[in-house]
Amino acid sequence: MDEIKINPWEVSGNFDDKVYTKIVNDFGAKLIDDKLLGRLGGLTHGLHPFLEDKTFFAHRDLDLLLDAFENGEEFYLYTGRGPSGDMHLGHLMPFLFTKWLQDKFGVHLVIQLTDDEKYLVKDLSEGQISKFTYSNVVDILSLGFQPANTHIIIDSIHAKTLYNNAIKVARHLTASTVKGVFGLTDSDNVGKFFFTSMQSVPAFLVSVMKKKNVRCLIPYAIDQDDHFKIARDILPKIGFYKPASIISKFLPSLAGNSKMSASDKSSAIYLSDDAKTVRHKIVKYAFSGGRDTADEQRKYGANPDVDFSFNTYKLLESDKKKVQKIYSDYRSGKMLSGEMKELAVSEINGFLERVRANRAAVEEKFADYLFDEENPF
């Protein structure tokens, strides 16, 4: 555990279930137990693969949020993205999960693009960040989000509303707290000290706009927990609900590491990768749960749970029976690693084509997706 480092700007270490459990306990969140999972599955008529395999494994007040929902209270979803590079499959998957939640509960979704944060913490120009911001939004929306219930907040575009509300949070947030929680020091810039206030705003913005308290559920990866721990401390002090959250582990990278890296283009699959590139990357780099030889694979079978190709296939294939059969065949050794890889290649390429086909329509309707401060829902 000594080498584990985890905050919104730095993640390092080897993450296994024991580590994740310890982190969640240290952070004061709760594991999603079978009872809560069953309850959620009952409301959503089945579970998303990310819930089944415990990629989304922890929560804060998800039980309270479901209580409220069952009592007829509305809620909305809020998630985000820091636009400091192109998006790869590992970045897009959590948005697919969020879309699943949105569809199942029939609720609104706010997506925040923290371009100001990236400007403050990365050595990138305004121009570079602005390019990434636009292309990231288009990538995300091309997953099939609808303008009617999806609301994009871009910090630089919505800065007026964000800043005017962020100071309400900032007034209650000392430098000391920010240092303790994020590990900032006096050498960090004052924008970083202030920034978490900006990221907290979408968690109560709809309540401000509607002039009544509306609950918020935030799906995020564990490295963002610091931000929302602070939001949960302060929001009740200024008259709002604590946001609830559903928290994921880091997705394994193509090569099986704990987090897909955005810095090495060969370590991940990008939306811009053509079919041939995708096949090359999967065949060459994708971490396999299969055996070293075809003979051994036939004899002992694979471990699909750690297999990048199988896991990606599972996320993209909506026919659960098909997935089940592939799992058994691969598990038993009836199916070889190479075949699993080819199946994943075909599934991923189909998915990327569908997403890319949506881009033009999304770009045309871009303005319709922007959070409308006058009429948020």
Scanning 144-152, 160-168, 279-287, 338-346 for contacts with its own copies by CB under 8 A, the matching segment is: 160-168
Residue 25 or 189 with smaller CB distance to its own copies = 189
Q: How would you classify the pairing of strands 244-248 and 109-113?
A: unpaired
Residues 98-137 that bind its own copies (CB under 8 A): 116, 119-120
Minimum distance, C-beta of residue 189 to its own copies, in the bound complex (Å): 6
Neighbours of 340 (CB within 10 A): 26
Site map (CB under 8 A) of its own copies, residues 189-218, x = contact? xxx-xx-xx---------------------
Q: According to the 3-state scheme, what is the secondary structure of 111-149?
A: EEECHHHHHHHCCCCHHHHHHHHHHHHHHHHCCCCCHHH
Selected from 128, 146, 149, 156, the binder of its own copies by CB under 8 A is: 156
166 CB contacts (<8 Å, ≥6 apart)?
Answer: 194, 197, 198, 200, 201
Site for its own copies contains 276 (CB under 8 A): no
Minimum distance, C-beta of residue 196 to its own copies, in the bound complex (Å): 8
- 3-state DSSP assignment of residue 199: helix
238 CB contacts (<8 Å, ≥6 apart)?
Answer: 168, 169, 172, 204
Selected from 3, 106, 187, 319, the binder of its own copies by CB under 8 A is: 187
Residue 185 or 318 with smaller CB distance to its own copies = 185
Distance CA 299, CA 85 (A): 43
Distance CA 168, CA 192 (A): 17
Minimum distance, C-beta of residue 126 to its own copies, in the bound complex (Å): 8
Scanning 142-150, 186-194, 207-215, 338-346 for contacts with its own copies by CB under 8 A, the matching segment is: 186-194
Minimum distance, C-beta of residue 177 to its own copies, in the bound complex (Å): 8
Residue 172 or 280 with smaller CB distance to its own copies = 172
Site for its own copies contains 263 (CB under 8 A): no
234 CB contacts (<8 Å, ≥6 apart)?
Answer: 169, 172, 173, 200
C-alpha closest to that of 352 among 102, 103, 92? 92
Interacting residue ranges for its own copies, rule: CB under 8 A: 116, 119-120, 156-160, 162-164, 167, 170-176, 178-179, 184-191, 193-194, 196-197
